[in-house]
């Protein structure tokens, strides 16, 4: 998992094909209402983003997930969250991978990372992650979850 400040996101342009164009698309959604948005510059389903708003939840209420088809670039616009992460090889799978949902679930675990406004993180296929957990108690967040087709 990569965690950094949004003003340094260009340092990761080589991470995936069309990374910079995908990030530019995601950042253009900063003022849009919550929802899913397709990037018209790419074939349907290759690059899309979701503007999400919500309340953080206790760690106990979450599950670690991982994806195979897409990487996530999660950009915090307002508020913050704790994300727990671990390599999936160190976790016990509790719900098998669903190709339709591009998600497998794992037992709770992982290390916490504090994500605040102006930060982003990249989740690769080997990164188990549990986003949207409380920072210092209940709180809110507004973020963009950018999905980029992986290989």
58-77 per-position pLDDT tens digit? 999 999 999 999 999 999 99
Q: Choose among 42, 48, 58, 1: nearest CA to 28.
A: 48
pTM for this predicted structure: 0.94
Average pLDDT rounded to a whole number, residues 121-137: 96
Q: How confident is the model at residue 86 (pLDDT cuts 50, 70, 90)?
A: very high
In order of 102, 109, 114, 149, the CA distances from 45 in angstroms are: 12, 31, 30, 8
Flag whether pLDDT at 151 surpasses 80.
no
Report the pLDDT value the prediction gives residue 44, as an integer from 0 to 100: 82
Average pLDDT rounded to a whole number, residues 37-46: 89
Q: How confident is the model at residue 17 (pLDDT cuts 50, 70, 90)?
A: confident
Alpha-carbon distance 140 to 79, whole Å? 6
Flag whether pLDDT at 85 surpasses 80.
yes
**What is residue 138's three-state secondary structure?**
coil
Token pair for 150: 């992986």
Alpha-carbon distance 110 to 130, whole Å? 9
Widest pairwise Cα distance in the chain: 41
Report the pLDDT value the prediction gives residue 45, as an integer from 0 to 100: 84
């Amino acid at each position: 998992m990569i965690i950094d400040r949004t003003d340094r996101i260009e340092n990761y342009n080589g991470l995936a094909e069309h990374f910079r164009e995908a990030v530019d698309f995601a950042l253009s959604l900063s003022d849009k209402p919550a929802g899913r948005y397709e990037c018209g510059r790419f074939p349907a389903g290759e690059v899309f983003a979701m503007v999400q708003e919500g309340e953080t939840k206790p760690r106990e209420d979450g599950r670690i997930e991982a994806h195979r088809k897409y990487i996530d670039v999660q950009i915090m616009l307002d508020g913050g969250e704790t994300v727990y992460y671990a390599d999936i090889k160190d976790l016990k799978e509790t719900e098998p991978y669903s190709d339709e949902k591009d998600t497998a679930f794992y037992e709770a675990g992982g290390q916490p990372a504090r994500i605040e406004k102006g930060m982003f993180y990249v989740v690769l296929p080997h990164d188990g992650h549990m986003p949207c957990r409380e920072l210092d108690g209940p709180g809110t967040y507004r973020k963009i979850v950018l999905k980029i087709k992986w290989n």
